[in-house]
Structure 1
Amino acid sequence: MKILEFVCHEGVQEMMLRQWLERGHEVYLTEAGKTWNNTYFEVPEGVIRERPSNPDLISVGSTPDLAKAVIHKIKHFHPGIPIVMVHHWFPSEKKLAGMFYRLATNITLTSYQRQCLLDIWNVESELIYCPIDADVFRPHDTEADPKLFLAIGNGFVPRLDMGWQNLVEIMAKVYEEDPKIHFQILGINPEIKPGDFPNVSTLSLKPGELPAHEAGARAIIFPTIRTLIPQSLIGAMSIEKTVVSFELDTVVDLLKEGRNGHLISCYDTDAFADRILELSRQPEDKALVSNARKDALGKCDHRVVADQLESVFNRLVG
C-alpha cells in the first residue's frame, strides 16, 4: 500500500512509520502545517520525503492538514483517495471543520475525545489509543528512591491549563510534613521557582532517556488539569511505575484507582499531597505496577495500534 503521511506528531508518527515499513508498505512523508525537525526522532530510513499525486491512502493528524489533503487529491484529479484523520488534538470548532471531518475516516485517541467530536459535529469516529513503544518503555532493574517523585509538567510553551498552580500547592503541602521529599519537574514550567522549596529540581530529557530516569523514582505524578493524549502517563505505566493523576476525562480510559495506579478527585491538592506522602512511606505495590504495564500495552502497544490502524487502511483501500 502506498501511504502518504502528513507530518504531525513526531513522537507518535516515528513508531507508526517504522511499523508501516516493516509491514511492506511504501511510505511517503510530507510537510504542510508542521515540519519534522529531527530534534527527538529521525525519520526512519526507507521513508520517502515526497508528496506523490496518487497514493492509495492519505493519513493526517491535524484539521489544517486535513483541508490540505482534500485539496491535494482534488488538485491531482484523484477524488476517491481515502483520508484518515487521526485526531492528535481536540476537535476544532471552526466553521468549516465539520465539513472536512465528514470527508475523512476519523480516528480518536480517547473516549472523551470521541464524545467531543460527536457532540460538536455529530461525526462518528473509531477509538484507537495512542501508541507507546513497548521495547523502549520497559521495566528497568533500578532501585527506586522512596523520596523521589517525578512530576511530568508542561513540555510546551507555558499554558495556564497545564496545572503548575496545583503542583505548587501540592509541593507546599507535602513539605509541611516531609522536607526530604524530592520533586523533580520535567518540562517547561518557568512559573515554579525551585529555590522556593526545600528540595525541588528541574530537568530536560529526550523521550528515549525518560524510561531509565523514571525507573529511579518512587512514583510519576501528573498535576496537569487538561490533557488530550496522555502519552507520558502511558509510558510511565508501561515501565511499571506507580502513577498518580487527577481524575481527568482523558485519563480514566487507562488509569484505574487501586488496580494500576492512583486517581485523585479534580483538583483536590490536599488528597494529592496525602497520596504522595503515603507512597513515600510504603514499598512499591508489585501487583499494581504489573497491572499498569499489562493494561497500558493491552491498548497502546505500538504493534497493537498498528494492527488496528492497518485494518482501517485495508478496509478503505479495499
Structure 2
Amino acid sequence: MHICFFSGDITRSGGTERVSAMIANMLDKSTDYKISFVSLFEEADKPFFAIDDAIDRHVIYPVPTHGIQHYFTTVKRLKILVKQLRIDVLVDIDGILDMYALPVKRSTGVKVISWEHFNYHQNPGVPYRKITRRWAGRRADAIVTLTQADKVLYESNLKLRCPVIAIPNPIEPLVGESRPYSADSRTILSCGRLTYQKGFDYLIQVATKVLPEHPGWTWLVLGEGEDREQLEQGIREHHLEGRVVLEGRVDNVEDYYRKSAFYVMTSRFEGLPMVLLEAKSAHLPIVSFDCETGPAEIVKDGVNGYLVPCFDTDGMTKRIGELIDDAELRERFSAHAMDDTERYAMRTVAIKWVNLFKVSLK
C-alpha cells in the first residue's frame, strides 16, 4: 500500500510539519507500507525535521507558487502524480488541501483522509476553510481530528458521510542524555511561531507583571514569525530586555526543555499543541490558557500543571507566581507530568493510523 502525505511545504518548521514527519517515519519503520510526501512546493533544500531516507519527496511545482488562480493546474498536476506514483491513500495534512485532493479522488479513485490540525471553529488565514470542511465531510474517506473534543464538534456541525476519527499527536521521547527534573532552574520556556495564534502578546503582558517581582528569572521564547518586530517593541516598552528573550528558531530545542523550570502556553487557539506534549516528555510543569481544544486533554489542573481561563492574564500571573515561589510544587507537578499519557505513546498512535488505513481501503 502506498500512503502519501500531502503538504503545502514539508520543509517548513511548523508543528504540522513536525508531527507529519514523525508519523511518516513511524509508519515507515513499523509497517510494510510505501510512504512518501507530495508538497505543493519546497522552499528549503531539505526538511527542517528529519525524514527517513527511504521516504520519497515530490513537488507539484518546482518553485514556490501561490494563489487560487493556479487551482486547476494544481489539481491536474496532483492527478498526474497520483497516477504515476500509484498512490493508494492521500493524507491531506492540512484540511485546506482537500480542495485539491477531493477532485483527484473523484477522477482516480485514490482514498483521501483529511487530517485537521486546527480546531473546528478556527479558520486561520483561509476563510474558505469552512467550505472545504463541509466538502470533506461529504466526500473524504475519513476525517482525522487531534482531540475527542474536536471530533464532537465535527460530528455536531457537519452532515457527515465519512467517519471522524480522533488520533492524537504522539509524545516523542527527548533525544540525547536525559536527566531527572531539577527545580533549580530559573528559566520559563515557551515555544511557537511568532504569530497571532500563539498569543505571545499576552505572554508579554503576563511577563510585565511576573518578572519584576521575581529577579533572577528569565522567560525564553523559541520560534520565529511575522510578529517578531511587534513583540520586540513590547519588550522594549515594558523594559523587559534580557528578561523576555526571543531566541528565534533553534535546532537544539530539547536542550531548552531540559534546562527549564516550567512551560507556559498563551495560545488563542490550538488543535492539539505539540509543545505541551514535548513539555510533558521533559517532565516540565505546565501553565496554559485553557483554549477550546487541546490543553484540557493534556494538563491535569492542579496535578501536573495549571489551566487558566482563556486570556485571563491576572490568573496566569498568579499561577506562574505560585510555581516560581514554590520549588516543592514544581517538583510535585513534574513527578506527575506523564500521568495518563499512554494514549499519546508512539505505539498507540501507530495502531490507530494503521487501523484507519485498513478501514479506508475497504
Smaller-chain TM-score bracket: 0.7 to 0.9
The yes-or-no answer on 1:84 pairing with 2:113 is: yes
Q: What is the distance in 2 between the residues matched to 1:73 and 1:223?
A: 39
Given residue 203 of structure 1, which amino acid in structure 2 is its aligned partner?
E
Q: Contact conserved, 1:149 with 1:221, CA < 8 A, in 2?
A: yes
Q: Contact conserved, 2:183 with 2:327, CA < 8 A, in 1?
A: no
Aligned match for 2:18, one of 11, 16, 21: 11
The equivalent of 1:44 in structure 2 is 52
Given residue 11 of structure 1, which amino acid in structure 2 is its aligned partner?
R
| Structure richer in helix, relative to its length | 2
Q: What is the distance in 2 between the residues matched to 1:24 and 1:163?
A: 41
Equivalent residues in 2 for 1:247-258, closer than 5 Å: 247-250=290-293, 251-258=295-302
Aligned match for 1:271, one of 312, 315, 322: 315
Q: What is the distance in 2 between the residues matched to 1:309 and 1:300?
A: 13
Task: Give SS of 2:256's match.
Answer: helix
Q: What is the distance in 2 between the residues matched to 1:150 and 1:135?
A: 16
The equivalent of 2:146 in structure 1 is 109
User: How big is the shift at 1:98?
Assistant: 0.9
User: How big is the shift at 1:137?
Assistant: 9.1
Instruction: List runs of 5+ in structure 1 lacking aligned partners.
Output: none
Larger mean CA deviation between 210-219 and 107-116 belongs to 107-116
Task: Give SS of 2:263's match.
Answer: strand
Aligned match for 1:20, one of 12, 15, 27: 27
Aligned match for 1:63, one of 95, 102, 105: 95
User: How big is the shift at 1:5?
Assistant: 1.8
Structure-2 change in CA distance of 1:83 and 1:290 (3 Å): farther
TM-score, normalising length: structure 2: 0.76
Given residue 167 of structure 1, which amino acid in structure 2 is its aligned partner?
L
User: How big is the shift at 1:216?
Assistant: 1.2
Structure-2 change in CA distance of 1:139 and 1:304 (3 Å): farther
Q: Contact conserved, 2:96 with 2:132, CA < 8 A, in 1?
A: no
Deviations 1:167-188 (A, max 9, x none): 2221121134223321122234
Q: Contact conserved, 1:244 with 1:264, CA < 8 A, in 2?
A: yes
Q: Contact conserved, 2:95 with 2:132, CA < 8 A, in 1?
A: no
User: How big is the shift at 1:121?
Assistant: 2.0
Given residue 244 of structure 1, which amino acid in structure 2 is its aligned partner?
V
Instruction: List runs of 5+ in structure 2 lacking aligned partners.
Output: 9-15, 59-80, 124-128
The equivalent of 1:293 in structure 2 is 338
User: How big is the shift at 1:120?
Assistant: 3.5
Task: Give SS of 1:40's match.
Answer: coil
Q: What is the distance in 2 between the residues matched to 1:227 and 1:307?
A: 24
Q: Contact conserved, 1:6 with 1:29, CA < 8 A, in 2?
A: yes
The yes-or-no answer on 1:155 pairing with 2:184 is: no
Given residue 136 of structure 2, which amino acid in structure 1 is its aligned partner?
F
Equivalent residues in 2 for 1:222-241, closer than 5 Å: 222-241=265-284
Q: What is the distance in 1 between the residues matched to 2:89 and 2:4?
A: 6
Q: What is the distance in 1 between the residues matched to 2:304 and 2:135?
A: 40
Q: What is the distance in 2 between the residues matched to 1:96 and 1:210?
A: 34
Q: Contact conserved, 1:239 with 1:293, CA < 8 A, in 2?
A: no
Q: What is the distance in 2 between the residues matched to 1:35 and 1:162?
A: 24
Deviations 1:237-282 (A, max 9, x none): 1110111111222211111112221112222222212222221222
Given residue 168 of structure 2, which amino acid in structure 1 is its aligned partner?
Y
Q: What is the distance in 1 between the residues matched to 2:285 and 2:132?
A: 43
Aligned match for 2:171, one of 129, 132, 135: 132
User: How big is the shift at 1:46?
Assistant: 0.9
Q: What is the distance in 2 between the residues matched to 1:46 and 1:36?
A: 21
Q: What is the distance in 1 between the residues matched to 2:50 and 2:211?
A: 41
Given residue 40 of structure 1, which amino acid in structure 2 is its aligned partner?
F
User: How big is the shift at 1:94?
Assistant: 3.6
Paired residues, number: 309
Given residue 89 of structure 1, which amino acid in structure 2 is its aligned partner?
F
Deviations 1:198-240 (A, max 9, x none): 622221244x521221111111111222222311111101110
Structure-2 change in CA distance of 1:148 and 1:95 (3 Å): closer
Task: Give SS of 1:165's match.
Answer: helix
Structure-2 change in CA distance of 1:235 and 1:98 (3 Å): same
